[in-house]
Amino acid sequence: MKSLETQHVARQTLRIIFMGRDIELRLVSLVVRAREAADEVVLLDLGSNDSTVEYAEEVDCEVLHFSNEVNVQNVASFLLDSNLERMDSTLVISITDQWKLRDLPLSINRARENWDFHLSHQVGDAQGESFDELTLSSAQIQHVVLTHQGMEAIAYLGPLARTSELDESLRVRIVEARSNVNIPQRESLATASRFAQLFYWMLETKHPLLLFGIPGIVLFILGYRLSGNLVGALEELNSTSIGVTLATIAMTLIGLFGIMVALILYIMGKQVEQIQSQYNWPSRE
């Protein structure tokens, strides 16, 4: 009976909020990756002038429009007054040019550590303020984790509040994000080269024989049949006969090349599927 009870332990819910402006080129990949780990993904738009909001709506991502000054207190107060469903933990990530998609798992891990208030703020080359003397409104957010209790405590602080004024009952951690931690992550297709995307797509295609094999067989058969007729039909060499002969040879070689490419891609695709099944990689179907 006790084993059955341990199987039904409530999992902590997580909401990820991307805060940024004019991030249309990165939004879709951000939302897709975040949905793998979060129960809800929200865009906190800071006044985009491009198609960021439209792209968010196309992928069914809720959009909140934030027009106030960006600091911890204002963000917490805005989220507290919004109509968002209450969740155990809320992770707010500021999307800037310095932030990379590979940093997302690290931020998610911080959100799973049950902090009421976890702030990672960016600092310059100069020495920043000490922990107790840090003014929260002046901290440049990289990411912040808030529980509902932490959100209420931060929202009710004044604009000049310091970290020393936080309630001692809260589980608080504040760190300086001086440099990103380089950890190996899956490369996003958005950052891969065009050739790599095409090659990966060809490997993922279930039937490359249909893409290259059938056209290759058709061209090879036509070139072979035409070459047999040309040997007896052309009795003298001239510019026309040489051109037709070269075109026939080219058609035959292209057909043969297409057949070889189809077989190679088909074999490599099977090898990829075998490796994925061996290491239990998630399927793309």
Rounded (5°) CA angle 192-193-195: 125
Q: What is the pLDDT of residue 154?
A: 92
Q: What is the pLDDT of residue 8?
A: 42
> What angle separates helix 148-155 from helix 72-81, to the nearest 10 degrees?
120
Q: What is the pLDDT of residue 279?
A: 59
Q: What is the pLDDT of residue 67?
A: 92
Distance from C-alpha of 132 to C-alpha of 153, rounded to nearest angstrom: 17
What are φ and ψ of residue 133, in 5° steps? -100, 0
The stretches of the chain forming alpha helices (DSSP H) are 2-7, 24-34, 52-58, 72-81, 104-111, 148-155, 194-204, 208, 214-233, 239-278
**What are the 10-residue block averages of pLDDT along the chain, 285 residues in total?**
44 91 91 93 94 92 93 93 91 91 88 89 58 79 92 88 84 76 54 61 61 76 71 56 74 82 77 68 50
Residue 195's SS3 state is helix
| CB neighbour burial string for 75-94, b if at least 16 within 10 angstroms, e if fewer | bbbbbeeeeeeebbbbbbbb
Distance from C-alpha of 182 to C-alpha of 217, rounded to nearest angstrom: 48
Can you name the residues that pair with 135 across neighbouring β-strands?
162
> What angle separates helix 239-278 from helix 194-204, to the nearest 10 degrees?
70
200: which 2 tokens? 């990966």
Q: What is the pLDDT of residue 7?
A: 43
Residue 127 C-beta-side C-alpha neighbours within 13 Å: 3
62: which 2 tokens? 């809720």
**CA dist 285 → 77, 267, 281 (Å):** 41, 19, 12
Q: What is the pLDDT of residue 175?
A: 86
Q: What is the pLDDT of residue 188?
A: 55
Distance from C-alpha of 253 to C-alpha of 22, rounded to nearest angstrom: 49
Q: What is the pLDDT of residue 229?
A: 61
Q: What is the pLDDT of residue 1?
A: 42
**Count of helix runs (H) and strand runs (E) in the chain:** 10, 7
What are φ and ψ of residue 128, in 5° steps? -80, 180
Q: What is the pLDDT of residue 127?
A: 45
Q: Among residues 24, 141, 158, which one has the least CA distance to residue 92? A: 141
